[in-house]
Structure 1
Amino acid sequence: MHDHPHTDASQIFAAVQRQIPTATLQAVYNNLNALTEVGIIQEIKPKGRVSLYETRVGDNHHHIVCRVCGHVEDTDCKGFAPCLSPSSNHGYAIDQAEVIFWGICPSCQNAASHNHEGEDHENCR
């Protein structure tokens, strides 16, 4: 996950199986859940997409997701945690805000400008 941030469980499972052929997908999920619970990795849950995992934790960053190809980039917060403030904290001691920005990545923008409107630009990266 250090070399391939924003990886999903099936991609992690494929990498693990190359090293440990007897590994199971359930074992990968169990380990991902345990590592997330103790804060060693972070789970990202873009709406309508599978969960993604990364090792970048504890630094108050957010994510940008391409609506077309699903590529994810990190983006640093412009301030201190949490970098957003709710209208009311309801008595909570808020220490984190989770933000996912959505848009269209440069590769997909370029593909769209070179193709006819309405064509599928799946996996344009």
Structure 2
Amino acid sequence: MAPIFEAQLRAVSLRVTRPRLAVLATLRDHPHIDTETVLALVREELPAVSHQAVYDVLRALTDAGLIRRIQPPGGIARYESRVGDNHHHVVCRSCGVIADVDCAAGHAPCLTASDDHGFVIDEAEVVYWGDCPDCAARNSPTSEGIS
């Protein structure tokens, strides 16, 4: 998979470095993770990588459009490598797990605002909130009283 990541980096005029490759691989394998988790997973491959280096890589990759930073209201920033398709997210109110949600209409109707105020809109963020299946089962009235 490294040749694909190398090509992605070169396509946006970024140098190919081991930390950048490691962050891209980590986000491919673990979408929607926070900076500390990225750091911990990258350090499994590159033990000497600094905290600042990972922050710098995340910023550079986000600025280049290779990864996406998402931050649901009230939550911490998370990162994902799925970019360019204007997908949305569903967030569990109980445990904070995040999952991708494709547009239900089969296209991106959310990019057609009722009033765009003259903006050229290229992205919309929709966040659905609820309980994930595990939390819903734990929080259901039928699970309370069962030992």
Residue 28 of structure 2 aligns with an amino acid whose one-letter code is: H
SS of residue matched to 2:101: strand
Map 1:3-18 onto structure 2 (within 5 A). 3-18=29-44
Identity of aligned residues (%): 50
Q: Which gives a bigger RCO, structure 1 or 2 (Cα 8 Å, sep 6+)?
A: 1
| 5+ residue gaps, structure 1 | 117-125
Specify which of 113, 116, 120 is matched with residue 93 of structure 1: 120
User: How much is the aligned-residue C-alpha RMSD, in angstroms?
Assistant: 1.5
Structure 1 residue runs of 4 or more that deviate by more than 6 Å after TM superposition: none
Give CA-to-partner distance per residue, 1:79-116, whole Å, 9 cap, x none.
43352533321111112111111111111010112136
Counterpart of 2:139 in structure 1 is 112
Structure-1-length-normalised TM-score:
0.85
Query: 2-side partners of 1:55 and 1:115: how far apart?
Result: 38
Aligned residues: 116
TM value normalised by structure 2:
0.73
- Counterparts of 2:54 and 2:119, CA distance in 1: 34
- Of the structure 1 ranges 87-96 and 25-34, higher mean CA displacement relative to structure 2 is found in 87-96
Q: Which has the higher strand share?
A: 1
The aligned residue for residue 55 of structure 1 is: 81
Q: Between Structure 1 and Structure 2, which shows a larger proportion of helix residues? A: 2
Question: Which has the higher Rg, Structure 1 or Structure 2?
Answer: 2
Gaps of at least 5 residues in structure 2 are 1-26
Match in the other structure for 2:102: 76
Deviations 1:42-70 (A, max 9, x none): 11111111111111111121000000000
Which amino acid in 2 is paired with 1:32? L
Q: How does 1:25-44 map to 2 (within 5 A)?
A: 25-44=51-70
